[in-house]
Amino acid sequence: MVTLLVHSQGSEYRLAATPGASPRELLDTTELRVRAACGGTGSCGACGITLLSGEVNPLTLAEYQKLTPEERGQGQRLACQLRLLGDAEIRLDHPAPPSQWRGIPPEDLAPPADRRPELERHVFGVAVDLGTTHIRVALWDRKRGKRIAARRGPNPQGVFGADVLNRLDAAMRLPERAAELARLARSAIVQAVRDILARDVGEVTPMLAEIGQVLIVGNTAMLALLTEHGGADLFEPDNWERPIDCLPRDQEAWHKQWFMPNAAIVVAPPVAGFIGSDLLADLIATEFTAGPPGSLLLDVGTNTEIALWDGATLHVTSVPGGPAFEGGGIRYGMAAEAGAIFRVRSEAGTYACDTLAGAPARGLCGSGLLDAVAVLLADGILKPSGRFAVAPGEGFRLDPANPRSALSGGDVDAFQRAKAATAAAMAELLRLAGMGWGDLGRLCVCGAFGHTLDIPHAQALGLLPEIDPARVELRADASLAGCERALLARDGEGLFTDLCRGIHAANLSTSGTYDDTYIHHLRLRPVPPVA
């Protein structure tokens, strides 16, 4: 790994990268972006930076064409053409206007799965993972099997509550509110597509007409809120083991609201109840049923979905874990972006906090919260009950000089509840399948934690079972990857249908043992066996 140090408008960012990465690619994943309109070919010349020091590639032909001799002599380069061969330091004087959309790191994206050479018109396609907290969008040239770019941004429906039930209740009570929630999600997806077209293609309106399909996966509540159909069914427990119809009532009118005149807007149907098509996309991306019996998959988030493969049947369920795993509901919680504490280590009586982009700590994201709880437990600051050994007043500061590094008793409680709901659901699926923790041989962790999850810490707290860490796969954007694979397949909808044939959806609210199992898992300790 190499390090890029970026100075811009009085701020400093420290970004880790693999050799060969460009500053443009790295900055696209942060709140600081270069100006761009050509997709990284160097033809627009907009992404000017100043190289201060470092080991980098020589000037390219595009840079000789777009930069004057004086500019080249002053160390100016194009951010899309510069490649890091070692550590480097740059200055960005004229960043792009702020945007809520971030590029998704290449390590979180799956390699191209297929292509559609038979397509002659409207060859572009859009894959969408519509999450409760975040939306992920990727634009593809389906004919060539080439991803143009991918973006990640907040779901603006969050203004109506982090919990899906709050949003569903708001939509149920007022038709105007339902329409507003649908508009917010739809507009966000369109804005993400427009952001990609503007920065990575160079034109917007004509290219919107070249999009032939938009495929959307998501948890059931998000799909129902997007289409304004199916939300009422989720309030009926009898429907929690049955498929929910989330298709819009008036397809033609709905289609016109997307400003993509030639695109088929396809909503991949959910499995049942609160088990959405995002879980199916995870299963597609991980080729889950091709794995051995005893494979377990977690899609961790505000609504956590779980699948267990016993070799013949897919057992699936979902639990409302709450937003703690995504940095929500925490006093100083935040999304996984610049300044978020994502890693905590105990070092001789002090705590080292690593932040994303090396920026000053502004709060804790999900993996940082988990690490903080784990190290404080190991040091005796926290008890297994989740209580502090000595009351910390306003909160225990990991960094005594930074109040935004503080962890409160309420934060620990929110983590415990989310952890217990997830662990109890795993235990219940194993029980229903006639299996135990010792039967697990593969564990796929998708969703909120990305690649920053510390597996031993997660096992020490009882979020993950104690299997060989080498058998744990961290698949940050598996839902988007599965959606992309279906987008590029000739029978994409068939991929979802085939999985649903051998699926058993479990409604844990009817289980006579789930509540006791949940209480059993509240303590901060490794997963104990459950009879």
What's the 3-state SS for 425-493?
Answer: HHHHHHHHCCCCHHHCCEEEEEECCCCCCCHHHHHHHCCCCCCCHHHEEEECCHHHHHHHHHHHCCCHH
Q: Give the confidence band of 529 by pLDDT, cuts at 50, 70, 90.
A: low
Q: Is 333 helix (H, G, I), strand (E, B) or coil?
A: strand
Q: Is 343 helix (H, G, I), strand (E, B) or coil?
A: strand
Q: Give the confidence band of 531 by pLDDT, cuts at 50, 70, 90.
A: very low
The CA distance from 429 to 514, in Å, is 10
Predicted pLDDT of residue 348:
83
Average pLDDT over every residue of 127-149? 96
Helix and strand element counts for the chain (H, E): 15, 22
> To the nearest whole percent, how much of the chain has pLDDT over 90?
82
pTM of the model as a whole = 0.92
The answer to whether residues 253 and 375 belong to one domain is no
Examine the pLDDT at 401 and tell me if it is beyond 90: yes
Q: Which of 65, 98, 131 is the last residue of a domain?
A: 98
Residue 341 located in a structural domain: yes
Least confident of 75-89, 162-176, 278-292, 408-422: 162-176
The answer to whether residues 156 and 272 belong to one domain is yes
Predicted pLDDT of residue 206:
95
Q: Enumerate residues 6+ apart whose C-beta is below 8 A from 501.
A: none
Residue 495 located in a structural domain: no
The CA distance from 260 to 166, in Å, is 31
DSSP 50-63: EEEEEEEPPPPHHH
The enclosing H or E element of 216 equals: strand 211-218
Least confident of 66-75, 171-180, 281-290, 321-330: 321-330
The answer to whether residues 39 and 65 belong to one domain is yes
Q: Give the confidence band of 472 by pLDDT, cuts at 50, 70, 90.
A: very high
Cβ atoms 273, 242 nearer than 8 A: yes
Q: Which of 373, 407, 441 is the last residue of a domain?
A: 407
Examine the pLDDT at 390 and tell me if it is beyond 60: yes
Cβ atoms 454, 370 nearer than 8 A: yes
Average pLDDT over every residue of 250-274? 95
- For the chain, give the mean pLDDT: 93
The CA distance from 345 to 407, in Å, is 15
Q: Which two tokens stand for residue 375?
A: 């190290």
Backbone angles phi, psi at 174, to 5 degrees: -135, 120
Torsion of CA 32, 37, 41, 45, to 10 degrees: -80
pLDDT tens column, 193-230: 999 999 999 999 999 999 999 999 999 999 999 999 99
DSSP 376-420: HHHTTSB-TTS-BSS--TT-EESSTT-GGGEE-HHHHHHHHHHHH
Average pLDDT over every residue of 335-360? 90
Cβ atoms 291, 309 nearer than 8 A: yes
What is the domain-level CATH number for residue 26? 3.10.20.30
Q: Which of 80, 98, 116 is the last residue of a domain?
A: 98
Residue 80 located in a structural domain: yes
Q: How many residues does the chain have?
A: 531
The answer to whether residues 122 and 269 belong to one domain is yes
Residue 354 located in a structural domain: yes
What is the domain-level CATH number for residue 137? 3.30.420.480
pLDDT tens column, 152-168: 999 999 888 878 888 99
The answer to whether residues 44 and 177 belong to one domain is no
Q: Which two tokens stand for residue 130?
A: 């519509």
Q: State which residues form the domain around 182.
A: 106-277
The answer to whether residues 158 and 208 belong to one domain is yes
Q: What is the DSSP letter of 244?
A: -
Q: Which two tokens stand for residue 389?
A: 């050994």
The answer to whether residues 56 and 129 belong to one domain is no
Average pLDDT over every residue of 369-375? 97
Residue 327 located in a structural domain: no
| Residue 304: strand pairing partners | 319
The answer to whether residues 265 and 177 belong to one domain is yes
Q: How many domains does the chain have?
A: 3
Residue 395 located in a structural domain: yes
Predicted pLDDT of residue 513:
92
Residue 356 located in a structural domain: yes
Cβ atoms 134, 155 nearer than 8 A: yes
The answer to whether residues 126 and 88 belong to one domain is no
Burial class of 2 by CB neighbour count within 10 A (0 to 12, 13 to 18, 19+): middle
Residue 429 located in a structural domain: no
Predicted pLDDT of residue 237:
86
The enclosing H or E element of 191 equals: helix 175-196
The answer to whether residues 35 and 179 belong to one domain is no
The enclosing H or E element of 371 equals: helix 366-378
The answer to whether residues 17 and 111 belong to one domain is no
pLDDT tens column, 293-327: 999 999 998 889 999 999 999 999 999 877 889 88
Predicted pLDDT of residue 321:
79
The answer to whether residues 113 and 210 belong to one domain is yes
What is the distance, to the nearest Å, from the Cα of residue 39 to the centroid of all Cα atoms in its chain?
23
Q: Which amino acid is at 400?
A: P
